Structure 1
Amino acid sequence: MSTPRQAAPVEGDAAFTGLPTLRGERIWGFWSFTSVNVGLAIATWAFLTGGTVALFAGARTAIAAGVIGNLIGVVLVALASCLPSGKYGVEQYTGLRGVFGLNGVRALVLVLFPLAAAGWNAILAVMCGRAIVNVINAVAGTAFDPNGGLVIAMALVAIVASWLVLVKGPVSIEWINKIVAPLLAVMSVAMLVLILVQHPWGELAAAPPLQPFGDPGLDWMIAIEIGLGTGFSWWTIMGNLARLTTTQRVAFWPNLIGLFLASVVASMVGTFAALVLGDADPTVWMVPLGGAVLGVLALLFVGFANLTSMVGQTYSGSLAVLRAIGRPAHRLPWSVLAALLFAPAAAVVFWPGVLYDNFFKFIAWVSLVLAPLCGVHLVDFFLLRRRTLHVRGLYEAEGVSRYSYWRGVNPFAFVAVGAGALTYYLLLNPLTYEASSLFRYTSASVPAFLVAGVLHYAFTRLVVVPAGKGGYR
């Protein structure tokens, strides 16, 4: 029987396995990884994020909140996930064995990734479907329902197209992003200029939020929280992309150009357009903003660009699934495994409005889980392990590896994450969006991050290290 590395496609074996990437297998330099980041960041979800912020904040507040929230989230994610993977070439969830244990990571992946992939891919696919349907409505004068059967069909087509690209692997992701990322950046700037020409800054600044709570302090912090949630949402995939970068610097800095700067610019386009046109859905306002020709072209291009984000995040998650399931997954042809990874999203798009029209609540649930996970991850790597991992131990069996815990699980890391998630919930209820009095001063993501990180440090020092578990000595 061939090993996973031998059985992988020829374009760079480690790109399809959980094995550490060798120097010759690291295909992304600074600008290549930057283009991947920009392509991921300026997908329609950035426009949708901006439109969602416009529900609660005006133009000035949205700019400040977007910069603050995104910057904090992206920097923390890049430190926690990109630097370890970039330094050692280790798949992110393999590296997390040192935090949660072998079986703990398996449970984490098998629960977290299907939910995250189903949510984000479904949102992107529905956006693509609505974009195509709005193009048809604009060109043919029809009035297809934004949650109707044609949107569902086009969303499924987008998923199939993403699968076809993913089968080709990360080189195809890089090739597409070298074309898509610059054009997306140009289109975003062009749309921003178009908005400012048609609606001077004074008009934009005076435009009221679409559905504010009416409490300026609360609306301000919700706008920041949306930015924080968007930043933390990258935690699930960026480590597995960063392992293909040439250096640690390359693994870190492109995140600030793409996931932060490009995302904020695209988000501002979404916010400004929503404020002056009265609709948070970017697939609705592109034609009124750009006119029939330019608006239709923008819709088509943005719909296509969504495919790059779907492919990038699903490729990254595939590595986690391969490592979690083990040999049964490696026996599957890559094309079959890729199809299975898209299956949850394909099921969700049959109810297109459930996630898409409640995007701000979806972001809150994402941050409730990922902010504390990021806190535990960062504290473990930087403070407890002092940026040192023993790669061989990450691949050895439970009981043999220095990273062994109790039956392959570090329960104290999960308790820390749970405490962080509970902190978030008490500050901001993701289901009802009811906020505590403290929320307007603290946000929910930052306290969740801090509580989880502090508890993980304390539990490790007081319990795990004295018990001789986890290889911290």
Structure 2
Amino acid sequence: MTTASDPRTGADRRPRNHLLEESILPVRLRHRTIGALGFVWIWIGMAVIIATFQLGANGVAGLPLPVVLLTILLANAALAVVMTLTADIGTEHGLSFAVYLRAPFGTLGTHLPAVSRGIVAAIWFGIQTYLGALAINGIVEYFTGFSAWFLWYVVFGLVQIVNTAMGIKAVERLAAVAAPAIIAVSVWMYFTLEDLARTQGQNIWTFAGDTPISAFSLFVANMAFWSALAVDIPNLTRFVKTESGARSFARRNKNVFVAQFVALPVTQTFVALIGAVSFIAAGDWNPITVIQGQSSGFTLVVLLALVILAQWSTNNAANLIPAALTFVNAGAPHLAYKWGVALAGVVGTLAFPWLILNNLFTFLGYYGALLSAVGGIMIADYYVVRRRRLNVPALYQANGQFRFSGGVNPAGLIAWVVAGGLALWQLEYAYLVGLPVGFLVYLLLMRFWIVPRHPQAEITSGFSDEYLGTSAGQEWAYDEATGLRRVPAGSDIAVSREDL
């Protein structure tokens, strides 16, 4: 690849590719450093968030505790199936969520669902940072009498932004420290609350609330809870260690399974249990408030430290990384990853998350409905339309096969509008409506309308293995001379920053 220069200034006159930026290139196998345990720690850190307490409390307000726990466990196990299907996009091709969406939505159309998800992630960052700031303020106020939660919001937000901007290894290191501490304090919280319930004559296992709620609606609400990560989990799995040449889906994703099928459901269920016990013991879904009202000194500091760690570890992996990558995808090559992380922090703050917190589950329901449709579209595109083959170099070509009609794939947008609209209309059943309808509508439109008019190389090749990555012992690599191409795993090809 040659570079044209201005003879008077020597400046590079070649137009920069708006689809290229280093942080959204496919991740090489040598850079996939997160092992099975590391991914488990990340998931535990993400799953312990205050909003989960309310899920358990809402359930036990009308259902027996064993039914609540079983429902939440099964809902998260079902979601893990969806999440593991989309996770293969990261383990097979090393791609981020927003870049992959160029296939079902087009190189321009990707920005609608991707940036929507990015904004939601940024808002979640703001919510979590606000909760962490309240905890920091509680500690400082206890010892000094000084109270200024917004100051701590800014400080805590900046610390998280810097930590996430340092890269995936920094995120993994934090999770490895935070997760065990979070588990220990969570266990302590459970026994503290269970003892409180017993002293008040309440048996948590036989408690019966009188609020009308069905196990089915609780099941759907829990699926919506992680609907965002169910679609953008490739942002993380592209950094998870995988075996080159592993044709088997199970072998290729073995380091993903324990985290998503065990760590997520078990942790989510246990945290919901704490919220349920808090409601039974004190009529308040928030155990932080309940225990804080009865604690002082070291106990109070430990409790609030849990809040800070939980929000921090969740924000890094579940909110800042997804938001940053969607913003980088939209602003490439001018917006680098570290500035994408900073932008996520700004957007999350400008959304006034402390106000959204008062209507959290309405917020969860609406965006969960829309993202359920995206999940169905991704699964249909990856597994049925393309059979896991993907013309990855074309994802970075403005005039390649993923340009479709002016950069937009109508099949993706129509399927998203139809399925997302139906999911919003049937909000109580949102995830169970949006995902299958998105899958079916997209599949039909691609097969009978788009593919005949816009040939896709991986399909016209007869689904050749030339369009596979990890499972074929290959990986996608970029250099200045040849651009993006498939090379044998471990090949010595370096990325040229100057060409991005």
User: How far apart, in 1, do the equivalents of 2:183 and 2:156 lie?
Assistant: 22
Instruction: Check conservation: 2:83, 2:231, Cα contact below 8 A.
Output: no
Q: Per the alignment, do residues 55 and 365 of structure 1 end up closer, same or farther by CA in structure 2, a change over 3 Å counting?
A: farther
Partner of 2:384: 383
Instruction: Map residues 105-124 of structure 1 onto 2, 5 A cutoff.
Output: 105-114=110-119, 116-124=120-128
Partner of 2:191: 193
Partner of 1:74: 80
Partner of 2:452: 466
Instruction: Check conservation: 1:194, 1:290, Cα contact below 8 A.
Output: no
Which residue of 129, 132, 135 maps to 1:128?
132
Q: Per the alignment, do residues 470 and 295 of structure 1 end up closer, same or farther by CA in structure 2, a change over 3 Å counting?
A: farther
Aligned-partner residue type, residue 305 of structure 1: A
Shift of 1:346: 1.6
Partner of 1:158: 156
Partner of 2:67: 61
Instruction: Check conservation: 1:86, 1:251, Cα contact below 8 A.
Output: no
Partner of 2:375: 374
Matched, 1:363 2:369: no
Which residue of 2, 16, 25 maps to 1:19?
25
Aligned-partner residue type, residue 423 of structure 1: L
Gaps of 5+ in 2: 4-10, 13-19, 243-252, 461-500
Q: Which has the larger radius of gyration?
A: 2
Shift of 1:50: 3.1
Instruction: Map residues 58-457 of structure 1 onto 2, 5 A cutoff.
Output: 58-80=64-86, 82-114=87-119, 116-135=120-139, 150-200=148-198, 203-209=203-209, 212=211, 214=212, 216-217=213-214, 220-235=215-230, 237-247=232-242, 248-288=253-293, 293-312=298-317, 313-330=319-336, 335-349=338-352, 352=354, 354-398=355-399, 400-401=400-401, 403-428=402-427, 439=428, 443-457=429-443
Partner of 1:39: 45
Aligned-partner residue type, residue 129 of structure 1: A
Instruction: Check conservation: 1:381, 1:387, Cα contact below 8 A.
Output: yes
Shift of 1:135: 4.1
Instruction: Check conservation: 1:286, 1:299, Cα contact below 8 A.
Output: no
Q: Per the alignment, do residues 252 and 388 of structure 1 end up closer, same or farther by CA in structure 2, a change over 3 Å counting?
A: farther
Aligned-partner residue type, residue 345 of structure 2: F
Q: Per the alignment, do residues 355 and 51 of structure 1 end up closer, same or farther by CA in structure 2, a change over 3 Å counting?
A: farther
Shift of 1:324: 2.3
Aligned-partner residue type, residue 387 of structure 2: R
Instruction: Check conservation: 2:196, 2:281, Cα contact below 8 A.
Output: no
**CA deviation string 1:147-196 (max 9, x = no partner):** xxx33333232211211212322111111111111111222223223333
Shift of 1:15: 11
Shift of 1:123: 1.5
User: How far apart, in 2, do the equivalents of 1:56 and 1:418 lie?
Assistant: 34
Gaps of 5+ in 1: 4-13, 145-149, 429-438
**Sequence identity (%):** 18
Instruction: Check conservation: 1:74, 1:232, Cα contact below 8 A.
Output: no
User: How far apart, in 2, do the equivalents of 1:448 and 1:127 lie?
Assistant: 31
TM-score (norm 1): 0.83
User: How far apart, in 2, do the equivalents of 1:207 and 1:141 lie?
Assistant: 39
User: How far apart, in 2, do the equivalents of 1:296 and 1:365 lie?
Assistant: 36
Instruction: Check conservation: 2:126, 2:349, Cα contact below 8 A.
Output: yes
Q: Per the alignment, do residues 52 and 152 of structure 1 end up closer, same or farther by CA in structure 2, a change over 3 Å counting?
A: farther
Shift of 1:63: 0.8
TM-score (norm 2): 0.78
Q: Per the alignment, do residues 324 and 15 of structure 1 end up closer, same or farther by CA in structure 2, a change over 3 Å counting?
A: closer
Shift of 1:444: 2.4
Q: Per the alignment, do residues 57 and 126 of structure 1 end up closer, same or farther by CA in structure 2, a change over 3 Å counting?
A: farther
Instruction: Check conservation: 1:15, 1:21, Cα contact below 8 A.
Output: no
Aligned-partner residue type, residue 383 of structure 2: F
Instruction: Check conservation: 1:404, 1:469, Cα contact below 8 A.
Output: no
Aligned residues, how many?
430
SS at match of 2:109: helix
Shift of 1:103: 0.5
* RMSD over equivalenced CA pairs, Å: 2.8
Shift of 1:364: 0.4
Partner of 1:8: none
User: How far apart, in 1, do the equivalents of 2:115 and 2:83 lie?
Assistant: 21
Shift of 1:460: 1.4
By percentage of residues, which structure has more helix?
Answer: 1
User: How far apart, in 2, do the equivalents of 1:381 and 1:22 lie?
Assistant: 20
Instruction: Check conservation: 1:167, 1:335, Cα contact below 8 A.
Output: yes
**CA deviation string 1:217-250 (max 9, x = no partner):** 3xx3332222111131313542111100111222
Instruction: Check conservation: 2:164, 2:321, Cα contact below 8 A.
Output: yes
Shift of 1:369: 1.2
Shift of 1:59: 1.9
User: How far apart, in 1, do the equivalents of 2:105 and 2:442 lie?
Assistant: 11
Aligned-partner residue type, residue 204 of structure 2: L
**CA deviation string 1:201-229 (max 9, x = no partner):** 9621344448x3x3x43xx3332222111
User: How far apart, in 2, do the equivalents of 1:348 and 1:153 lie?
Assistant: 17
Instruction: Check conservation: 2:101, 2:114, Cα contact below 8 A.
Output: no
User: How far apart, in 1, do the equivalents of 2:102 and 2:328 lie?
Assistant: 14
Q: Per the alignment, do residues 324 and 290 of structure 1 end up closer, same or farther by CA in structure 2, a change over 3 Å counting?
A: same
